[in-house]
Copies of this chain bind each other. A is one copy, B any other.
C-alpha cells in the first residue's frame, strides 16, 4: 500500500484545508472530524464498478444537531470546501457513502438518529437522517403501534431519509417513498432553515398530514439534488391491515413476460392490487438458494439449461410475479377471486399463500443474497423506466439479456410494475476485487445504460460515477434549469457538486 496522502478538495490548498478542518473541529468537536485514511476507509468502500480512489473523500464530519450542520456549512462556504451530505451512507449499488467527485468532505448525519414523533392515529412519523428502517420498525413493535414499515430493496439498515431523497421504492402500497413523505426540514447552503409545506406555518399540526402548503410545492426539488441538507423528514406509515395474502404467479415461458405485464396493469390501475407487482426471473430467484459456482464453474454466464434445471428443482418458473392483497379476509376474498381468474387465464399458475416479508412489514436481507451469487462485493443497479406495457418489458428484456450475455454476465431481472410505469430493475453483480471483472462490469453497465436510453428507456437513478452522463441524456434545458436553481440556492456550489450531474 502506498503511503496515505490527504486528498484535497479541488482548488483548495493544504494550508487552507487545514484551517477549514480546524474550524470544523471547533463546530463539531475534534472527535467528530475524521481526516486520517483509516478513519475514512468506511466512506471509500463502494460496490459499484469504479475505482474508489476517484471518489475518495477529503474528510468526514459528523454533525449531531441542526446547529452543527449550520456551522459546518458556514465553514464550507467560507473556505469553498465542497461537502457531501449522507444520512446512513448505505446507498448500495449507487456509490454507498462516497461523493460524486474526489475530494469532498462527507457530512455524515448518522448521529442525528432521533425518531422525533410517531402519531399512531394519523399514521405519520417525523425522523432525522440517521434513523434506519430497522430502528423505526423496532420502535413501532416495542410500543405495539399498528403501523407498517415499507422496507426498501437495500434492506433494514438503510434509512428512510436517504432512501426517500433518492426516490427509492419499496414493496407495499406505500412503495413510492417520496409520494408517502410529508414535510421536510432543510438547512439551506446559507444556513437558514426551511420547513416545507405546512411546517412553515406557526402552530400548524398538519406538517406531516398535508403535503403542499401554500405557493410552489418545493419538496420535489430536494430529492436527487444538492439544494439543501434535509435534517427532518415526515413519513406516512401504512396502518397494519387486518390480514394480507401474498400471491405468486408463475409463467412457464420466458416470452410470457409481456402477458404478465398486460394482465397486471389493469388490476393495478383498477385498485384491486395496491402494491407493486414485482417479477423476478429464474436466475434472480436462484440467488437466494445458490452461489453461481454451485451451478456452473466455467467462464461467462451460467448456461440457461443449468438455470432452468435448478429452477425446476425448486419450483421456480422463468418468470415469477408477486404482489399482495391487504384488508380483512372479507375484503381480500373477492380481490383474490379477480386476480386468480385474470392471471390464470393469461397462462400463469397462481399460488395464494406465498411469503415475501418485504410486502408485509418484515425485516429481510434478500438484497444481500445477490452479493453472494458471484462474491467479491460488486453490485450496480440499472433501473430503466418505461410505460407499463408488455411490449416495453419484452424490449427491455431483449436489451438486457443480449448485452449481459455478450459481455459474460448473468442476467438477473426484477421488472416492477407500479401504477402506469415499469421499472425494469437489473442488478449487475461482479467481483469488485478483480480489476478485470470490475472494468468489464463498468463497460457493460455503460453499454446497458446507453442501449436503454437509445431506446427511450431512461434510468431514474444512477451511481456517482455516471451522474453527469445520465443527466446529459435528459437534455440541456432540464440541466440548465437545475443549474439555475442550484446557483440561486447554493451560490458557492459547496453542496454535493456533481450530484445528479448538477454543478454551479
Contacts and interface: CB of A to CB of B under 8 A. Distances in A.
Given A270-B241, A334-B333, A485-B485, A216 B205 contact: no
B220 A218 contact: yes
A391 B182 CA distance: 21
B458 A204 contact: yes
A11 interface: no
A330 B340 CA distance: 14
Most buried by B among A206, A208, A334, A392: A206
Nearest to A501: B215
Nearest to A457: B204
B334 A330 contact: yes
Given A124-B420, A203-B455, A487-B488, A217 B221 contact: yes
A200 to B, nearest CB: 4
A222 interface: yes
Size bin of chain A's contact surface:
35 or more
In this complex, which of A124, A213, A265, A274 has the most chain B Cβ atoms within 10 angstroms of its Cβ? A213
Contacts of A331: 272, 331, 334-335, 338
Interface string A455-494: 1111111100000001101110110111011011100000
A484 B489 CA distance: 7
State the oligomeric state as a number of copies.
2
B220 A219 contact: yes
Contacts of A265: 121-122
Given A221-B220, A271-B326, A194 B385 contact: no
Nearest to A334: B330
B420 A209 contact: yes
A387 B194 contact: no
Select the residue from A124, A198, A327, A333 with max chain B CB neighbours within 10 A: A198
Given A194-B478, A227-B216, A122 B420 contact: yes
Contacts of A200: 474-475, 477-478
B216 A271 contact: no
A419 B236 CA distance: 10
B460 A214 contact: yes
A216 B327 contact: no
Contacts of A453: 201
Contact of A485 (B213, B216, B335): B216
Contacts of A480: 192
A298 interface: no
A458 B201 CA distance: 7
Interface in A30-70: none
14 contacts: A194-B477, A194-B481, A195-B478, A205-B456, A213-B474, A214-B461, A214-B500, A216-B220, A216-B502, A217-B221, A236-B420, A271-B326, A331-B335, A485-B489
Across chains A and B, which 7 residue pairs bring their CB atoms closest together, nearest first?
A203-B456, A217-B220, A488-B488, A210-B421, A330-B334, A201-B458, A215-B500
Given A123-B269, A194-B477, A215-B502, 10 more contacts: A188-B481, A193-B477, A194-B478, A214-B458, A214-B461, A215-B500, A218-B482, A328-B338, A481-B489, A484-B489
